[in-house]
Chains A and B, each alone.
Chain A
Amino acid sequence: MSKVLLQTKSLSKSYKMGATRLKVLNEIDIAVKYGEFVTIVGASGSGKSTLLHLLGALDKPDSGKVLFQEEDLSKLSSSALNRYRNSKVGFVFQFYHLINELNVLENILMPAMAYCSAIQWLRVGGKYKKKAMELIEKLGLQDRAKHKPYQLSGGERQRVAIGRALINSPALLLADEPTGNLDWSRGQEILSIFSQLHQQGQTIVMVTHDQRVAQKADRSIVLSDGRITE
């Protein structure tokens, strides 16, 4: 039995809607082990994205906690939290969220670069550039390295986003419907990338509502009405 990488304990989140509160997540307990490929499935509006954001420390829960390598995220200082977002997890958004002013290579390098001073970059920049080029190759973007996001197709943008999530070799890869905006064959390409990563030992948590995708994973967590129904 391998070790648990990420765990939630009674994780709850609600949104204020005028006078009432909309309870989106209700005491969620999940655990993800090292090397696992877990999908979160559920109807639209069931709280999948919300859960993933909490796992990536992009949002704060109302109650309960997220433990990453047995550390409570809510106890982290803001700089430790930044480090968590930067190099412990990689986040792939449904809408890519690339920076339009930066080209493919720069977008991928961005998380690495942002953590270095100019002098440090002189030292480690080469190493990261090499790694970014490898990722670009692996993601099939060789001819696109100098392109800007608006010059790319949706699938290509999603691959750039994956590259950016992987540049700092995070222990955990979080992806929110990475194929949601793509046609079937583009989606397949992206999924095969995730499969490959999984085979290489990458821990992945992916939100999807495509049952076929879920079948490729080790395990699926089904969310409905803010609870896990498995």
Chain B
Amino acid sequence: MFNVKLALKYFLKKPISWLATLAVAISVFVVLVVMTVMHGLVVDYINKTHATVGDVIVYSDSLVGFPYYDRLLGEIDKQNFVEAASPVIKSFAMLSVAGGNRGLGVNLVGIEASSYNQVTEFKSSLYRKIDNDKIFTPYFDSKKSGCIRGILIMNSKNYQGKFTHNPLIFEKLILTCFPLSYKGTLLKAASGIVDSKSYYVANDSDTGLASVDSSTIYIPFTDAQMLCGMDSTIKRASAIYIKIKQGESLGECVDKISQLVQRMKEQNENDKFSMLLRNVRVEDWKTYKRESIAPMEKEQAMLTALFLLIALVTVFVIFVVFFMLVHHKLRDIGILRSVGISVFKINGLFLLFATMIAIAGTTIGALGGWFFLRYINNLEGWLFREFGWQLWNRTIYDIGEIPHDIQTEVLCVIIICSLVASLLGAFFPVFNVSRRDPVKLLSVDQ
């Protein structure tokens, strides 16, 4: 009763407690905002990467590809943990624009539209929304062959992350490939295999990953197979992307598919294509994309470490604030002790006081963070309009808007840490001081 009353008075009447509240609030605010944004960026990048390849990938890192993929695909499709699987051709091509520049090197990806769309989120990356079966149909002439172009090829983004011009879907592109025999030698064009083909741009793909969107051309699977020579002697593919059913363990699925691949390798051990099978691997999406994910994850680990440091500093600041607060009140503690109030009650009084500051500070900080994150994109836009300054330059960084969804777990951890830090920060100095003889406390000049 008395405790509550005095704690409340301390809390409401003292500028130093407002300062302490502010210190707690700022700490909570900063940690919440930066954690949310950074976490959002990393998670967004990893999700986008995942969205381009499915869950499990069977692939050969040879440009020649691997045979019997259709049989393997049949086996994989029969597995009850598999949602969908899609064969993919991956190679390189030279891109020329009819009447324009020549010889742009691109990644060529051959896909089977319907299964590919089941495995990946490719369809939602398309700039012009369209049905599966018309995915490669040029907009203005359905009889011509069409391709899908990474949206950053021949296009760029403005500061808002919008494309500088509408994609030119009437453009005609010429793709030139280097078809390879199953032995890995170049096939001659004279042998009757087409190595060059024209396409009209049917659509643009905006996966949100700059490295993909600036270098990839998608064409129908069979076209790619032909252009790359993968239909010569024996039909081949570069990879099979697999989506597993929800709730299945990724690791177990990789193991099971590995067994299928192993069996296929054994069955064909003695035929002349067996060496092509030797390069075939099975990996989950994280391993398959580790080259692009690992740096991001490294960055996240580093950020987490940095944040531990910031959190440590924050806890220290809170500790110091409470230490000063308690020492600011030494005389009062002496007075309370001299009229016979127990150490226990005095500790309780200050812990209550600290709790008030902690709760007020944390609430203000969290609300402030929430409000700031809610308007962070407006703020960034305003800064750009007024001062031409952009936090993440959208012509370089591949983010639509700054992430601003507060993670509940992150919020809870921050709140708990802030409360604990405040209470510990108050407890140690109070505990240390309140046991002294009253005379020692009263003799301080305050």
Binds B, one of A81-89, A130-138, A201-209, A217-225: A81-89
Partner of B340, one of A85, A98, A101, A118: A85
Cβ-defined contact, A79 with B342, below 8 A: yes
Interface: A78 (CB within 8 A)? yes
A163 surroundings in chain B (CB, below 8 A): none
A85 surroundings in chain B (CB, below 8 A): 337-340, 438
Interface: B154 (CB within 8 A)? no
Partner of B438, one of A58, A79, A84: A58
Interface residues of B in 1-60 (CB under 8 A from A): 1-2, 4-6, 9-10, 13-14
Main secondary structure of the interface of B (DSSP, over half): helix
Binds A, one of B119-127, B183-191, B327-335: B327-335
Question: Closest Cβ of chain A: how far from B341's Cβ, in Å?
Answer: 5
Question: Closest Cβ of chain B: how far from A1's Cβ, in Å?
Answer: 31
Partner of A114, one of B9, B13, B336: B336
Cβ-defined contact, A111 with B340, below 8 A: yes
Cβ-defined contact, B1 with A113, below 8 A: yes
Interface residues of B in 314-355 (CB under 8 A from A): 331-332, 334-343, 345
| CB contact under 8 A between A82 and B341, given known A97-B334, A97-B335, A97-B442 | yes
Cβ-defined contact, A117 with B338, below 8 A: no
Cβ-defined contact, A82 with B439, below 8 A: no
Cα of A106 to Cα of B336 in the assembled complex, Å: 13
Interface: B255 (CB within 8 A)? no
Interface: B405 (CB within 8 A)? no
Cβ-defined contact, B9 with A102, below 8 A: yes
A113 surroundings in chain B (CB, below 8 A): 1-2, 5
Cβ-defined contact, A121 with B1, below 8 A: yes
Question: Closest Cβ of chain B: how far from A100's Cβ, in Å?
Answer: 8
Cβ-defined contact, A97 with B1, below 8 A: no
Interface residues of A in 68-111 (CB under 8 A from B): 78-79, 81-87, 91, 93, 97-99, 101-102, 106, 110-111
Interface: A164 (CB within 8 A)? yes
| CB contact under 8 A between A97 and B338, given known A59-B437, A117-B1 | yes
Cβ-defined contact, B331 with A82, below 8 A: no
Cβ-defined contact, A56 with B9, below 8 A: no
Cα of A86 to Cα of B337 in the assembled complex, Å: 9
A118 surroundings in chain B (CB, below 8 A): 1, 4
Cβ-defined contact, A78 with B442, below 8 A: no
A116 surroundings in chain B (CB, below 8 A): 1-2
A144 surroundings in chain B (CB, below 8 A): none
Question: Closest Cβ of chain B: how far from A118's Cβ, in Å?
Answer: 4
Cβ-defined contact, A82 with B342, below 8 A: yes
Partner of B439, one of A59, A79, A84, A117: A59
Residues of A at the B interface (CB closer than 8 Å) are 53, 56, 58-60, 78-79, 81-87, 91, 93, 97-99, 101-102, 106, 110-111, 113-118, 121, 164
7 A-B pairs with least C-beta separation: A86-B340, A85-B340, A118-B1, A101-B9, A111-B339, A82-B340, A59-B439
